[in-house]
Amino acid sequence: MLYISPTRNVRESPREESPREPRPVVSRHEGKSRIDPRIAYWIGRTASYPKDPDNAEHPELYDRGLRFRGRVYVDDMHFLRPEDKDELGRETDDLDSSSLHIAVVAMGGGQEDIKGGARVIFRDRSGKLPIEEYFTDIDDDLRPKPGSVEVSRFIARDEDEFTQHKINLALIRAITRLCGEHKVPSVYFVIEQPFWDLLQSIGMPMKQLGAAKRLPDYNDTLNIPVMIKPEEVDKSVTKDKTDSIILREFFDTKRAGNGMGYFQSNLMRRVEMS
């Protein structure tokens, strides 16, 4: 299930390393204590198919991401049970080891604060995607094929609603580009109505795969099965009906590259590190 955390005032294949992906801790970049003043965020992969929280590209950030999930899914929204967190407050399950994990980290003042995250579950590793368990009546021609993925544990959280909206889009952009690099044929989601409304508002080319259903595993919340074709996203996401962001610029490859790395505060322009 995907979840966009409300603002406070509203209530793969074998493991691969990307040589272009920078280290996340900019406060220690190349051993320097000063942070590049242009940098406001880091977006990147914290773990690839981790067998445990210590088995990750960036163990500290991955660990903090699991605690972030625990606070949102268990403590705040009660989608999951208290026993779904371990003794350290981390929410994790068996699907984490079949997933790539992405985080959005706010930088500044020597602090690194996780503001968003998601995981991309690879069907070729998990054997079957969660959507296939929850929605058994999906038409055969629309069911996940080899190479397909499911995005879950999608969270964006910020006190400022506009900033949270940008974090949502930054995650969508990073996931879309990641799936393009892995030649993923179809991306599946199980989403609540608010996230469906957001994706519709930005012109995301989605296909609803069946009727919404209440899922006992997620506190009986109403969820919708959805499929997206990654190759259709960049050419379709061209208008944000909230008029808060010009999406042509947000998804511009020249500005944002592959959607990962260091970014300015608007989350549109990537900062190249020398």
Least confident of 82-91, 129-138, 198-207: 198-207
Q: How big is the chain, counted in residues? A: 274
* Residue 195 is assigned to a structural domain of this protein: no
CA 5 to chain centre: 12
Across residues 42-50, what is the average pLDDT? 95
- The number of folded domains in the chain is 1
* Residue 201 is assigned to a structural domain of this protein: no
* Residue 1 is assigned to a structural domain of this protein: no
CATH code, 152: 3.40.630
Answer whether 39's CB lies under 8 Å from 26's CB. yes
* Residue 61 is assigned to a structural domain of this protein: yes
* Residue 234 is assigned to a structural domain of this protein: no
pLDDT tens digits, residue range 80-100?
999 999 999 999 999 999 999
* Residue 194 is assigned to a structural domain of this protein: no
Q: Look at residue 16 and tell me whether its pLDDT is greater than 80.
A: no
* Residue 25 is assigned to a structural domain of this protein: yes
Domain containing 45 equals 8-185+246-271
* Residue 28 is assigned to a structural domain of this protein: yes
Confidence bin at 68 (pLDDT 50/70/90): very high
pLDDT tens digits, residue range 149-200?
999 999 999 999 999 999 999 999 999 999 998 999 999 999 998 889 888 8
Confidence bin at 1 (pLDDT 50/70/90): low
